[in-house]
Structure 1
Amino acid sequence: MKATLLTSLALLLSFASPAFAAAGAQTHSGILVWAFIGFFGLIVVAQLVPAALILAGVVRSFAQGHQQLN
């Protein structure tokens, strides 16, 4: 049983090879990849601007409310 298991494991490992592995990393990004990244960058910036304005309004109203209490 142990010999069969070791033989099976040896056969399985002998067939494992990097036959389909890439030789090197592919670093060439086309214009569509950069357009995709840029589009989502614009989405993030477009959501940060209103969030910053709302945060500034909340801080301003909190400061004015704090001044009225004093």
Structure 2
Amino acid sequence: MKAIANALIVTIVTASSALAASGAAADEGGFLAPLFLTLGAAVIAFQTIPAIVLLGSMVKGLFSGKEEEGAR
């Protein structure tokens, strides 16, 4: 059990230093990163319109009086 714990500690220590020295954060992502974020923001913005309409319909249905069906 102690050998497994030591191996796990060694793996974590070496992996963290390798990730810290990779320099991956220096790249900004180029043109596609802002394009992707803009697309995501547009999808969220366009989904709010149907959500507001649905919420309004639900509130209207909740507070409207029940219509009684007349005898045929």
**What SS is found at the alignment partner of 1:30?**
coil
Over the matched positions of the two proteins, sequence identity in percent amounts to 22
Q: 1:6-45 to 2 correspondence within 5 Å?
A: 16=14, 18=17, 21-23=21-23, 25-26=25-26, 28-45=28-45
Q: 1:27-66 to 2 correspondence within 5 Å?
A: 28-65=28-65
**Quick one: structure 1 residues 24 and 35, their matched pair in 2 at CA, closer, same or farther if it must change by over 3 Å?**
closer
**TM-score, normalization by structure 1:** 0.53
Number of equivalenced pairs: 55
Give the root-mean-square deviation of aligned CA atoms: 3.1
Unaligned runs of 5+ in 1: none
Greater Rg, structure 1 or structure 2?
1
* Post-superposition offset of 1:53: 0.6
Unaligned runs of 5+ in 2: 68-72
Paired with 1:45 and 1:63, the residues of 2 have a C-alpha distance of: 28
- Runs of 4+ aligned residues of structure 1 deviating over 2 Å after TM superposition are 16-20, 22-31
Paired with 2:24 and 2:51, the residues of 1 have a C-alpha distance of: 42
